A and B are shown apart, each in its own frame.
Chain A
Amino acid sequence: MNAAFALIARDVKLALRTPAETLTILAFFVIAPTLFAFGIGPEPQVLARVAVGIVWVVALLACLLSLDRLFQAEADDGSLEQLVLAPAPLELLALAKCAAQWLTTAVPLIVVSPLVATMLQLPDEAYGTLLVSLLLGTPTLSLTGGIGAALSVGARKGGALLALIVLPLYVPVLIFAVAAVEAAVAGLPVRPHLFLLAGLGVLALTVAPFAMAASLRQASE
């Protein structure tokens, strides 16, 4: 367990010492939705209708941007061998990598998401549900993204391959998260959608560590 916490602490420290990576992703998360506003037009009703979808799609893509280096950076400098050879289960260490990725990427995204939602005229009553949906949904993004990142270690153009592997897996999260926030806008019960979102998280948590560990062992042969 200590090894996993040490790994999380190390990754958070690395992210804090090179804040440019996190800031770039945050900037993408803030700027990309403004393009939609320019492209669709500034009518509040139109933007409000598509706001949730845009926030979530851009959050997915922002998350994807940081996954590219999750395991590839470890493989490039030889650290992956050391992780694979650690006495602690590799499943646990892979999970720790995802936890650190979530802390350093998803948490800042969640913090600035109200700003993006405001730009897109999201109705006031939906903010709470948006935040809850992001809190419940982004760990699933990190975990399923971790599978893609582990599978694409060592591949040429790993980033493009990663997107191909991961984006289809993100669809269920997107559907239930957006459904929850739209239910909040319409004044309908949101809890069924949020429960399904949490269920996806549990599924990812049970499958992802084993899938990541198996691919990482393969990658470090």
Chain B
Amino acid sequence: MNTDSPAGLDGRALACRRGGRAVFRGLDLRAAPGELIVLRGPNGSGKSSLLRVLAGLLAPAGGTLAWDGEDVAEDPARHRARLHFVGHDDALKPTLTLREHIAFHAALRGAGTSDPAAALDAFGLAALANMPARVLSQGQRRRAALARLLAAPAPLWLLDEPTNGLDAAAADGLARAVAKHRAGGGIVVAATHLDFPGADARTLTLGAAR
């Protein structure tokens, strides 16, 4: 490990191009264990693209991304194992129950044991555990997508507009989950244009579309 590389997530001079257009360039992003970074910026400023770069879904057009001083490009599988990504879509199958969704996600993430009931309970979904996803409302679907965060442990949470469609109680549930995750040394990077629930968040504002 390099001595000048801090623990946690360390992105330097990150650049991203989509469709031949530079979305952002020269972007530095550091997140130490326990930190919450809220990405802000107008539509098209690259919040989602940045999250996809941090997740490794999208290769950066420039710059480097490191975790605990180690370049994530060297071992993408290890990087994937250390993160949870909640995207725009809730990734729910209409005929599977919520419990099955959480259990499948835990198995997919390679978690040896999982407690779907506790994960669902944290987002107020305990009573709906055996309901198929097709009968859920928009907000309940979003909660189910967020409950996956608790299905398997991972130090880095990447959340894209996590509070979309959530009511106040669910937003509180998310705030509690995020606080607990941070207390355990976890890092959260969330893109949002609403108020994100969470104490002493660091805000990173991305520029307007160029």
Contact = CB atoms under 8 A, between A and B. Distances in A.
Interface string A52-94: 0000000000000000000000000111011111111100000
Interface stretch (B99-107, B123-131, B183-191): B99-107
A87 B109 contact: yes
B57 A18 contact: no
A14 interface: yes
B182 to A, nearest CB: 21
B88 interface: yes
Contacts of A2: 107, 110
Contacts of B59: 221
A88 B110 contact: yes
Contacts, number: 71
A7 interface: yes
Interface majority SS on A: helix, strand, loop or mixed? Answer: helix
Interface stretch (B90-98, B165-173, B198-206): B90-98
B90 A85 contact: no
Residue of B78, B100, B110 ringed by the most chain A CB atoms within 10 A: B110
A84 B108 CA distance: 10
B156 to A, nearest CB: 11
A43 B180 CA distance: 76
Given A78-B90, A85-B55, A87-B80, A13 B110 contact: no
A6 B104 contact: yes
Which 5 A-B pairs give the minimum distances between C-beta atoms?
Answer: A78-B89, A6-B107, A87-B81, A78-B91, A17-B95
Interface of A: 2-3, 5-7, 10, 13-14, 17-18, 77-79, 81-89, 220-221
